[in-house]
Amino acid sequence: MLLEYLAIALLLVVSTLVGLIAIGLGELFGPKIKSKVKDEPYESGMPVIGAGTRRMPVRFYLIAVLFILFDIEVVFFLPWAVAFRQLGLFGMFEMVVFIVILLVGYAYAWKKGALEWE
Amino acid sequence: MDWALLLEWFLKSLVLIFGLLGGFAYTTYYERRWIARLQVRVGPNRVGPLGLLQPIADAAKLIFKEELTPAKVYKTVFFLSPLLTMVPSLVIAAVIPLGTSFTLGGRTIHMYLANINVGALYLMSVASIAVYGIVLAGWSSNNKYAMLGGLRSTAQMISYELTLGLMFVAAILLGNSMSMVDIVEGQRDMWFGAIQPVGFVLFFIATLAEVNRSPFDMPEAEQELTAGYHTEYSGMKFALFFMAEYQKMIVVSMIGATLFLGGYRELWFLKDTFLSVDRAWFLGPFYLVAKVFLLLGLMIWIRAAWPRIRYDRLMSLGWKVLVPLSLAVIFLTAAGILIESSWFILISSLLAAAVAVAFIQRALRRKAYEFA
Amino acid sequence: MNIDFILFLVLALAAIATALGMLLSRNAVYSALFLVLNFAVVAVFYLLLGAPFIAMAQVTVYAGAIMVLFLFVIMLLGADELAPGKALPWQRPLAATLAVVLVIEAAYLLLARGAPSGLVTPPTEYTNSTESLREMALALFGQYLLPFEITSILLLVAMVGAIVLAKQEKGGRR
């Protein structure tokens, strides 16, 4: 079984090498002319004001949390789908219960405007 | 150690990588030519016959461009993020079968690199790793636009990843396996896209958002964000992002074709003719490439036809429409399997989709009144 | 020395190195990235134990989802640039005590239960089959049904908690 994963590991190594070679070619053949303006962050030619990385809105956090929860749900869904024909009606029932509990949270999120991007 | 096996893997890896790289080069050509047609222009036609050497000229140009590294960037991460974006777009293709198998010098060569039992989950995990390249490119650039572009892009990708994952579930339900090879072989008698067209459409919408194509190309909303997460990149590092975007387009088309359009298999009603891959193994890659070509064409066409969607609407569409509809599609598919009726799956999913479309219509109309 | 053992040693060292990198990085984003690497190494351990599903789920959920949240939070607070604050006075003694407890626990497991228990079987062709996956799924949705359903309540609580925390300032439109 590990053989299949070794093949994937080989692909990973080879494709990383290809990427490194590509960057290397650019570094090798590209001109290197230093200047002060090139060192500055690009903001459409306007003078740069303030730090580059600043605090970000909290809604990104909300989206990420909701994503984790639903991602876990999807991961549970996958083996369920594989075994669904064996589980039958019972499997259907247990997944409905699982989802209904989660949907309560989803409805709460909707109601509270957490799915809104204002 | 089995050296022949190692050589086989190595050659397959090279085929995959250079196939995707070549695919990337000629997808850009395809896109430029076809967009030009749709806009009543000619498009690149000077370099070589029909402009066919244009991508090669572009690549050569990029090699001779300067690699800018602004002073305030986080150097290591700034260097690594293009790689972190590009490599997953290649590695994800490992589990996609390109055809059946053939014999060469007494060896049976399967036309996939790896057939693992958790194939669908593998695709999901590699897709979720690909997010890092983008968010880190934005962060390490130390530039407001890049940062905001990276975060937006990431938020969009993870939101639509749910729909993507749920549509994997729909295909797995129908195919009764997570292995990509089994899923393709399960479509011998009927493509899953024909049983569950709503699933395929949802998958396609989600992939558009996942690879940041229009109408979901938020991270590249030039008017708002300069060039998004790759604002500070130039030369080959920029080229890697560019490469990754197009390779992802190709790979998601391959995945979509594999899950819903029979992968390397022929049209289902041709299965007993001489056009079947069971009779002629070498047709497999051609069928897959043809399907990918069609899906890419559809993506490009959509880019030419539709304006960019507003970011808040994009998120609303993902969370309020696609996620519930995907869940409904899965349960309807499961119910259809229980009562052993493909027609039930088809009709009930179409009804669910109609309800979703009506919901969008209503929401849009109400919004329009609000602003009027 | 067989190949499995060498592989294990290399991975173990990688796991320790990434964990140390996470602890010692001054920049919170680098810490998070080392943690991602650590999760990836742990996923390879699961593969070696013949648990491909857990391995992939580890990458998808931990590396792919939870760490993205971490990164978002770090960027949200601008914590990557923060100067290291003073540690709480009781933090170091507590950490040392817990470390000692952990070492004793690990030593007990190694010495008392160290003999090959036969519980862990090396991966075979069967572990890569759909039947194996289905067997696991049937156990999850049969024998372990209750924990599975309780997971959903856990997820529900997490969801509500996050919304309450992040959405305090209601007001505004609507």
Question: Where would I find the beta strands (DSSP E) of chain B?
Answer: 101-104, 107-110
pLDDT recorded at residue B60: 83
- Predicted confidence at residue C173, as pLDDT, reads 42
> How large is the average pLDDT for residues B166-185?
90
Residue range B341-355: mean pLDDT, rounded: 88
- Rounded percentage of chain B residues whose pLDDT exceeds 70: 96
More confident residue, C2 or C7: C7
Place of tokens 């088809």: B346
Mean pLDDT of chain A: 82
Residue C135 included in any domain: yes
Query: Closest Cα to residue C140, out of B35, A106, A75?
Result: A75
The set of residues, in sequence order, having a beta carbon less than 8 Å from that of B190 and lying 6+ positions away, is B268, B342
What span, in angstroms and rounded, lies between the C-alpha atoms of B28 and B185? 32
Write the pLDDT tens digit of every residue in B312-322. Answer: 888 888 888 89
Sign of CA pseudo-dihedral C51, C53, C57, C59: positive
What number of H helices and E strands is found in chain B? 14, 2
Q: Does residue C104 sit within a domain?
A: no
User: Average pLDDT of B249-278?
Assistant: 86
Q: Cβ contacts (< 8 Å) between B177 and chain C: which residues?
A: 130
Give the pLDDT of residue B315. 85
Q: What percent of chain C has pLDDT over 70?
A: 84
C11: its two tokens: 């991975």
Residue ending a domain, choose from C53, C82, C111: C82
What ranges do the domains of chain A cover? Answer: 2-112
Count interface pairs B-C at CB distance under 8 A. Answer: 68
Number of domains in chain C: 2
pLDDT tens-digit readout, B6-65: 888 888 888 889 899 888 988 988 888 888 888 888 888 888 888 888 888 888 888 888
**Region at B235 (left for phi over 0; alpha for psi -120 to 50; beta for the rest):** left
CATH of the domain at C31: 1.20.120.1200
Cα atoms in the Cβ-side hemisphere of radius 13 Å centred on B93: 28
Of B206, B265, B251, B288, the C-alpha closest to B95 is: B251
CATH (one of 1.10.15.40, 3.30.70.1350, 1.20.58.1610, 1.10.10.350) for A2-112? 1.20.58.1610
Q: Which domain does C40 fall in, by range?
A: 1-82
Could you tell me if C110 lies within 8 Å of chain A, comparing CB atoms? no
Query: Band of the pLDDT at C174, cuts 50, 70, 90?
Result: very low
Pairing of strands B107-110, B101-104: antiparallel
What residue numbers bound the domain in which B190 lies?
3-371
**Interface ipTM above 0.90:** no
Average confidence (pLDDT) over A5-24: 89
What is the pLDDT, as a whole number, of residue C26? 80
pLDDT tens-place string over residues C56-82: 999 999 988 888 888 888 877 776 666
- How much is the mean pLDDT over chain B? 85
C132 contacts: CB under 8 Å, gap ≥ 6:
B117, C126
Which are the contacts of C24, defined by CB distance < 8 A and separation ≥ 6? none
Number of domains in chain B: 1
Identify the bridge partners of residue B107 per DSSP, sorted by sequence position: B104
Asked if residue C118 is part of any domain, the answer here is no
Q: Which chains, if any, share at least 3 CB pairs under 8 A with chain B? A: A, C
In whole angstroms, what is the distance from residue C57 CA to residue A76 CA? Answer: 9
From the number of C-beta atoms within 10 Å of its C-beta (0-12, 13-18, 19+), residue B63 rates as middle
- Largest distance between two CA atoms of chain C: 68
Same domain, C74 and C2: yes
CB neighbours of residue B122 within 10 Å: 26
Whole-number percent of chain B with pLDDT over 90: 18
Q: Which two tokens stand for residue B88?
A: 């997953």
pLDDT for residue B166: 92
Confidence of residue A53 (pLDDT cuts 50, 70, 90): low
Residue that terminates a domain, selected from C28, C60, C82: C82
Q: Do the Cβ atoms of A67 and C68 come closer than 8 Å?
A: yes
Residue C119 has pLDDT above 60, yes or no: no
- Among B87, B179, B242, the strongest candidate for a mutation testing the A interface, having the largest count of A CBs within 10 A, is B87
Neighbours of chain A (3+ CB pairs under 8 A): B, C
pLDDT band at B371 (very low <50, low <70, confident <90, very high): low
- Cα distance between residue B38 and residue B32, in whole Å: 10
Short-list B264, B116, B118, CA closest to B184: B264
The predicted model gives B332-346 an average pLDDT of 88
Determine the Cα angle at A108 with ends A106 and A114, to 5°.
Answer: 80
What are the start-end ranges of the H helices in chain C? Answer: 3-24, 28-48, 52-57, 67-77, 91-112, 130-141, 145-166
Q: Which two tokens stand for residue B126?
A: 């590699």
Q: Please, which residues 141-170 of chain C have a Cβ atom closer than 8 Å to chain A?
A: 141-142, 145, 148-149, 151-153, 155-156, 158-160, 162-163, 166-167, 170
pLDDT at B205 over 80: yes
CA B291 and chain centroid, separation: 13
Cβ distance A26 to B239 less than 8 Å, yes or no, reads: yes
| Residue C70: both structure tokens together | 């971490």
Distance between CA atoms of residues B220 and B211, nearest Å = 12
In total, the C-beta contacts within 8 angstroms joining chain A to chain C are 148
Residue C172 has pLDDT above 50, yes or no: no
Between residues C2 and A16, the one the model is more confident about: A16
Q: Among the three residues C32, C52, C82, which one is the final residue of a domain in this structure? A: C82
Q: What are phi and psi of B293, to 5 degrees?
A: -60, -45
C68: nearest CB among B74, B154, B176: B154
Q: Is the pLDDT of residue B136 over 90?
A: no
